[in-house]
Amino acid sequence: MECIINRRAQFSASHRYWLPELDEAENQRLFGACTRFPGHGHNYVLYVSLIGEIDQYGMVENLSTVKQVIKEEVTSQLDYSYLNDVWEEFQNTLPTTENLARVIWQRLVPHLPLVNIQLFEHPQLWAQYQGNAMKASLTIQTHFSAAHRLALPELSLEENTKIYGKCARPHGHGHNYHLEVSVTGEIDPRTGMLVDLVALQKVVNDYVVEPFDHNFLNKDIPYFAQVVPTAENIALYIAQLLQKPIKELGANLDKVKLIESPNNSCEIYCGQSSESSQELTYQEPALAMTN
């Protein structure tokens, strides 16, 4: 039986996003503050996932060997480096998070049975790559605070309490929601980007964060006048809102994860291979943006 194991590593490095064939205004539009000279740095966290059969020693791979390979092929070369110059792959394609994950895969795959590379540029931005040519995924994390009440209007308070417990109390309650939005697409061979990150962050902010933040979802978001705003229903509605505008950016919405509390979260998978993607019916953005 196959088993997947994961090895964590980290390195600190700097980089700059700048294409010499573009003028300053266009570079600023594409990359924002990342164009600043001489660059900026991150504490990267890398997760290397390996797949294989469990051997007679109870291992997929000897972790001491895995650790050494990752150090020799990746971290010892990247740690405290300027990414634009350290590897030849970044001479023609910028070292974005998604492109860096792709190149790390290429460096490791001759030595290890890889199944996934996950690279965190910081806790609110990470990429995953699984060896599929130029295709990768990128995830951004954001948050909003909102109140809700879980209750069906046709039921009494007693009946709703039996279903939803304390969440049915008449005046509602609030959460600090954490939202993760994952998109997939092809890495551009010049910019290294699978999507305009600034534009993606603006879409999530305009369609979700601003309309939802510091509102009572049942009363301030018309959609939830008829739909109980459970974490599951909120995540599904967010996926409905984001599918079309993300598609217009040239990427595909892959997953929406909503963390309601440290003990409660849910995920909506929107990829074309997911059955759930067929259930997503797009709602007009104006519906969610009406306060």
Tens of pLDDT along 19-61?
999 999 999 988 999 999 999 999 999 999 999 999 999 999 9
In the annotation, is 88 catalytic? no
- Do residues 246 and 200 touch, judged by C-beta distance below 8 A? yes
pLDDT of 175 > 60? The answer is yes
Is 61 marked active-site? no
Residue 260 annotated in active site:
yes
Give domain 132-291's CATH superfamily: 6-pyruvoyl tetrahydropterin synthase/QueD (3.30.479.10)
Domain 1-131 has CATH 3.30.479.10: yes
- Taking the C-alpha atoms of residue 127 and residue 62, their distance in angstroms, rounded to an integer, is 26
The predicted model scores a pTM of: 0.90
Question: 132-291: same fold as 1-131?
Answer: yes
Q: What local confidence, expressed as pLDDT, does residue 146 receive?
A: 98
Tens-digit pLDDT profile for residues 219-242? 999 999 999 999 999 999 999 999
Residue 121 corresponds to which tokens in the numbers above?
């540029």
Instruction: Enter the DSSP assignment of 39.
Output: -
Q: Report domain extents, the chain.
A: 1-131, 132-291
Q: Please tell me which residue in 214, 248, 279, 284 is annotated as part of the active site.
A: 214
Contact 277, 289 (CB under 8 A): no
Which of 42, 61, 111, 167 is flagged as catalytic? 167
> Can you tell me the distance from the alpha carbon of 183 to that of 181, in angstroms, rounded to the nearest whole number?
7
Look up tokens 């795959």; give the residue: 109
First to last CA, the chain: 53
Q: Residue 105 pLDDT more than 90?
A: yes
